[in-house]
A and B are shown apart, each in its own frame.
Chain A
Amino acid sequence: EADIYQTPRYLVIGTGKKITLECSQTMGHDKMYWYQQDPGMELHLIHYSYGVNSTEKGDLSSESTVSRIRTEHFPLTLESARPSHTSQYLCASSDRGRGGRETQYFGPGTRLLVL
């Protein structure tokens, strides 16, 4: 079991509210990621970070923003939630790996419902 945590696990919120999804890992990994996953669909990368003060947008365009002030912490923020943001958000981190074995470890996810 990986030491990567996400809170809240479930969130139901009204349109227009600001929300922050928390992600933290205790493995000292430099690389962290946020994925968005709709039910029964594949994971889509929305943000990633290769270290403190480094953030990049992923393959899927997202209205969310992220920050990386500390190695262990990678929060995702939606300034104004909309029903189209309803989805599952998965946080992951990866080790350096050796011999091509870099491994991603995933958190349990946050299921967001925007009414």
Chain B
Amino acid sequence: KNQVEQSPQSLIILEGKNCTLQCNYTVSPFSNLRWYKQDTGRGPVSLTIMTFSENTKSNGRYTATLDADTKQSSLHITASQLSDSASYICVVSAFTSGTYKYIFGTGTRLKVLA
């Protein structure tokens, strides 16, 4: 069964600190892995996308890594800001029968405190 699991479920950190969010998946056949940021009451916004051959991708203070062998990904946030408070969703897509299927994780809720 295709699954995406994220940890921790929630996280509270102080402004300026770094943090790392985890994503483990069992999705086949793997096509790509994307991290989204979702502010409360808004739609998800893409942060990074990685295909099988990529093991790291950065977007400003966000750096995602992918280990396709262990089927793990992480999202590292550097020098956190209050605006980083949001849910971070890991989404893995599988390409099968000529179409993409998206498997969503339950997300990690990050709260950054002043």
Contacts and interface: CB of A to CB of B under 8 A. Distances in A.
Given A99-B51, A101-B32, A109 B41 contact: yes
A106 B51 contact: no
Interface stretch (B58-66, B67-75, B103-111): B103-111
A100 B52 contact: yes
Contacts, number: 54
Given A100-B95, A101-B32, A103-B49, A42 B42 contact: no
Interface residues of A, number: 25
Contact of B49 (A88, A101, A107): A101
Interface residues of B, number: 26
Contacts of A43: 44, 89, 104
Nearest to A50: B99
Interface string A76-115: 0000000000001011101001011111111111010000
Interface of B: 31-32, 34, 36, 41-46, 49, 51-52, 87, 89, 91, 93, 95, 99-100, 102, 104-107, 109
Interface of A: 6, 40-43, 45, 50, 88, 90-92, 94, 97, 99-109, 111
